[in-house]
Each structure stands twice: as C-alpha cells, then as structure tokens.
C-alpha cells in the first residue's frame, strides 16, 4: 500500500516547503540532480543506504510535485534520466546555503561514512563568495578522484562547470575526503599541499586568488 506523505498542517512558507522536501533522502536526491541529470542506477549508487523502493517512491512524489521530470531517451541511449524542472532548480540557492552551513559543522569522518567525488562540485559552488570575483577573469580546474570540473570567474560572475577548463591559471588535484576536510576548515590548503594530499599547479598569486574566492584565505 502506498503511504501518503505527512503534512505539518501549518500555514507557513517553511512548513509548506518541508511538506514537499522535508522527507528523509529527498534533499539528497535534489543534491544529485543539481549536479546534473542522472539515471536511476546512478542515483541509487550515489545515495548508499536509500533502498530502491524508497528511491522510486521519492522520485514519484518529486515528479508529482513538479520538481523533477524524465529526460526522454535519445537515439544514443534508451535509458531514461531524471532532471530538475525550473521549479526544482529554484532550490539551488537554498540547498547551497544549507551545504555551506553544514560544511562548518562537519567533524572528523567516520570510517563508514560515504563520500563521492561528484559532491565536490556542489561543495565548491557553496563555498564561492562572488564578492571576491569582481576583478577576476580566469578559471581554475579541479580533479577530485578523477572527477574533473572547473570554476570560471568573469568579473563578478562565477560558474562551476563540469569538465576541464580552457587554459586554467590553476589546477588542483586531490581525493574527495581531503577536499571535504579542506572545505570544512579541518585542514589548511597549505598543510594538504605539504603532506602531498593536495597537488596544485599555478603561480602563488593565482592560488591565493582561488583560495580567497572559496573562503579558504583571508579576503
């Protein structure tokens, strides 16, 4: 039997939002789709512990609420993918805000806690302070356990884009757990570099500009 979602029964914007996205796992599904469209099995792999029946139920509700939709299969692939609608995409800033707040509360990871390199993209987006990009016209490339993406800073506008950059002024390579440690403030980028957990290529000024943009160095 299909269970109806519970409502807080409160005439309040926050309660109304939680009626839709407050169920366990729902925001983490949103996180995955903010990074990009996903196949069902990709969602299942990147959400260890959810269970296939629960994932199917959450996707059904999110589609019913107009937050996600199915990408029609193309001639190259018959496997359907899920993506956010415009309504779902509107959750980007609230989710980034929560991710930014949550980074500061992370303790040392437990052995059993999962970490995925793809989550680094959203973490970087959450860390960016666009106020520090007013004079920047450059890009920085990151390789997190083989997951490559780059940050484009163009005179106050900053984007995080999948794939390699064109002539980046800085490249950084590390593993996913080290990256989270740095973002959470549990490890200084210099310490990570000296212990060879982080490898950066670029001149020192470019490194400092990137660190300032991500809130990892004084402004």
The reported pLDDT for the residue numbered 99 is 95
The reported pLDDT for the residue numbered 73 is 80
* Residue linked to tokens 């593993």: 175
Q: What is the distance between the alpha carbons of residues 198 and 176, in angstroms, rounded to a whole number?
A: 10
Please choose, from the candidates 28, 157, 19, the residue with its C-alpha nearest in 3D space to the C-alpha of residue 99: 28
What number is the average pLDDT over the span 120-139? 96
Measure the CA angle with vertex 65, ends 61 and 69; round to 5°. 80
CATH 3.30.1050.10 domain residues, the chain: 119-213
Residue 1 binned pLDDT confidence (cut-offs 50, 70, 90) = very low
What number is the average pLDDT over the span 132-161? 97
The reported pLDDT for the residue numbered 170 is 98
pLDDT surpasses 70 at 2:
no
Query: Burial code of 157-167, b = ≥16 C-beta within 10 A, e = fewer?
Result: ebebeeeebee
User: Is CATH 3.30.1050.10 the right assignment for the domain spanning 119-213?
Assistant: yes
CATH 1.10.10.10 domain residues, the chain: 13-90
The reported pLDDT for the residue numbered 79 is 84
Measured in whole angstroms, the distance separating CA 12 from the mean position of its chain's CA atoms is 28
Could you say which of 1.20.1090.10, 1.10.287.540, 1.10.10.10, 3.40.50.970 is the CATH number of the domain covering 13-90?
Answer: 1.10.10.10
């Amino acid at each position: 039997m299909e269970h109806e979602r519970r409502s807080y029964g409160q005439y309040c914007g926050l309660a109304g939002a939680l009626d839709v996205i407050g169920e366990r796992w729902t925001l983490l599904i949103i996180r995955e789709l903010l990074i990009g469209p996903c196949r069902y099995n990709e969602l299942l792999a990147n959400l260890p512990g959810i269970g296939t029946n629960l994932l199917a139920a959450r996707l059904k509700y999110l589609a019913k609420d107009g937050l996600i939709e199915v990408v029609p299969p193309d001639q190259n692939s018959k496997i359907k993918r899920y993506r956010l609608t415009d309504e779902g995409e509107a959750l980007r800033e609230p989710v980034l805000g929560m991710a930014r707040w949550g980074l500061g509360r992370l303790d040392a990871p437990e052995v059993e806690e999962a970490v995925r390199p793809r989550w680094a993209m959203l973490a970087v987006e959450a860390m960016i302070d666009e106020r520090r990009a007013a004079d920047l016209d450059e890009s920085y490339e990151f390789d997190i356990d083989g997951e490559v993406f780059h940050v484009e800073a163009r005179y106050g506008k900053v984007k995080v884009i999948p794939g390699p950059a064109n002539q980046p002024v800085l490249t950084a390579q590390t593993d996913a757990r080290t990256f989270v440690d740095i973002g959470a403030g549990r490890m200084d980028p210099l310490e990570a570099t000296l212990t060879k957990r982080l490898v950066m290529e670029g001149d020192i000024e470019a490194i400092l500009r990137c660190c300032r943009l991500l809130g990892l160095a004084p402004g």
